[in-house]
Amino acid sequence: MTPICVVGGGGYVGLGYAVALAELGHQVVGLDIDADRVERLNRGDSPIYEAGLPEMLRRTLDAGRLRFTTDYAEAVPGSDIVFLCTGTPSLSDGEADLRQVRAAAASIGVHLQPGTKTVIVNKSTMPVGTAERVAGIVAEHAPQSADFAVVSNPEFLREGRVLHDILHPDRIVLGGDDADALAAVTSLYEPLGAPIMQTDHRSAELIKYAANAFLATKISFINDIARLCERLGADVTVVAKGIGADERIGPRFLHAGIGFGGSCFPKDVGALTRMAEGAGLHPGLLRSVLEINREAQRRFVARADELLGGLDGREIAVWGLAFKEGTDDLRDSPAVEVVRLLAERGAAVRAHDPAALPNAAARLPEIVLREDPYDAAEGADAVALCTPWPEYTAIDFDRLKRVMGGDLLLDGRNMLDAAKVEAAGLRYVGIGRGTRPTPTQAVVQAVPLRSS
């Protein structure tokens, strides 16, 4: 059992780690400057929507292995390992904003306990070279006799599966050059049974950005192919299946739609672009990835405009506001951008989301919110599905047709069964679906090709 402090312990990553490390048997204190969150967390009330989090939070609080505080003086001394999980949002030029990291590093430094060695684990996504800067800030504020080392340990979890991904990682990346510190962090992760890769700080930091940039590139690639499918009369879902079956490519992150969002992909691709520019390079690919992504939302709204003969005064139901299914996170959500673009063209928007309505009420007061997808669609000229919540596949399309004023269903995630939608008398429009061969047609067409 290791005494651990998680700085930023009220956020998506920090809270996930605080709870998961306590679940693994460690003594954890989650530290956050957000006093309201800390108070809620100490009551066992999770401020974040994540599968399994409320139960694991209460279990570890009740077991006495987890608590939350706003006070560095109470949390840092006595902790052998301090996880740094504060946010690294984007500045207006795309560069990572390191203010939270700098403030946290300074506070950690001030409260380091002389006489014991503290390992600081950089868990936040930080530009290449930040580990050295964190070490410098900590040293500047620490008592002279304080002993510490920094380990870079980027995080690859997906929101919506935070606890699952923390407890079942594909790999652990540890960067640094202090053997004792690397050994201490390695022993924390060993029970998870994942491969552990040790490297230098800079490679570890870059692995995180390169991983997100690669995944974002796959999404923008298939969205670019979707554009071509619309022009050439092909179906991008069939094309994606065909290329994804190649094991060198793989089927994941090849879902055409209104693009990626969230607190990571856009900001990390932006930050990597800035890092490349700062290094004197011209990151054309990364810039295109971001531009194709922005274009995906603009094209979706332009399509609605074209199909409805104008958006001014139209009523549109938007299904899904979170940036993806399984989370209540609205940060950089493509759905929110679609709402903004619809409103800009004069449409009246009513939105539904299974989990993000409380966040939407607080952050997007201009949107009319509905707790039921059919209520949102009442009298609407069109429904625009923007977040791939599995709930939407269970929609009764006959009922939907009865409540809507119009008949247009725009599937921004290509997740609905078009035949079912059309059987209810609705017009189905997906992304990149110039034609939609039935699965049987697709197979029949494939046979002569294979045998020739």
The residues that touch ligand NAD, with contacts defined as CB under 6 A, are 7-8, 10-14, 31-34, 85-88, 100, 103-104, 124-125, 155, 157, 159, 263-264
Which among 252, 250, 367 is positioned nearest to 319, based on CA atoms?
A: 367
**Complex with ligand NAD: residue 34 or 407, whichever CB lies closer:** 34
Task: Tell me how far, at minimum, the Cβ of 390 lies from ligand NAD, in Å.
Answer: 20
**Complex with ligand NAD: residue 215 or 410, whichever CB lies closer:** 215
> Rounded to the nearest 10 degrees, how much is the dihedral formed by the CA atoms of 19, 24, 26, 31?
-20
Task: Tell me the three state secondary structure of residue 142.
Answer: coil
Strands (E), 123-269: 147-152, 172-175, 196-199
Q: Transcribe 356-413 into DSSP letters.
A: -HHHHHHH-TTSEEESSHHHHHTT-SEEEE-S--GGGGG--HHHHHHH-SS-EEEETT
C-alpha–C-alpha distance, residues 129 and 127, integer Å:
6
**Complex with ligand NAD: residue 265 or 397, whichever CB lies closer:** 265
**Complex with ligand NAD: residue 86 or 237, whichever CB lies closer:** 86
Which among 376, 372, 358 is positioned nearest to 318, based on CA atoms?
A: 376
Task: Tell me how far, at minimum, the Cβ of 26 lies from ligand NAD, in Å.
Answer: 19
Q: Which residue is nearest to ligand NAD (CB)?
A: 11
C-alpha–C-alpha distance, residues 15 and 41, integer Å:
9
- Which entry of 5, 85, 229, 264 is annotated as an active-site residue? 264
Task: Fill in the amino acid letter for 169.
Answer: P
Residue 264 falls in the annotated catalytic set: yes
Task: Tell me how far, at minimum, the Cβ of 54 lies from ligand NAD, in Å.
Answer: 17
For residue 52 the two structure tokens come to 């399994």
Task: Tell me how far, at minimum, the Cβ of 325 lies from ligand NAD, in Å.
Answer: 14
Task: Tell me how far, at minimum, the Cβ of 356 lies from ligand NAD, in Å.
Answer: 14
**Complex with ligand NAD: residue 85 or 421, whichever CB lies closer:** 85
**Active site members:** 264
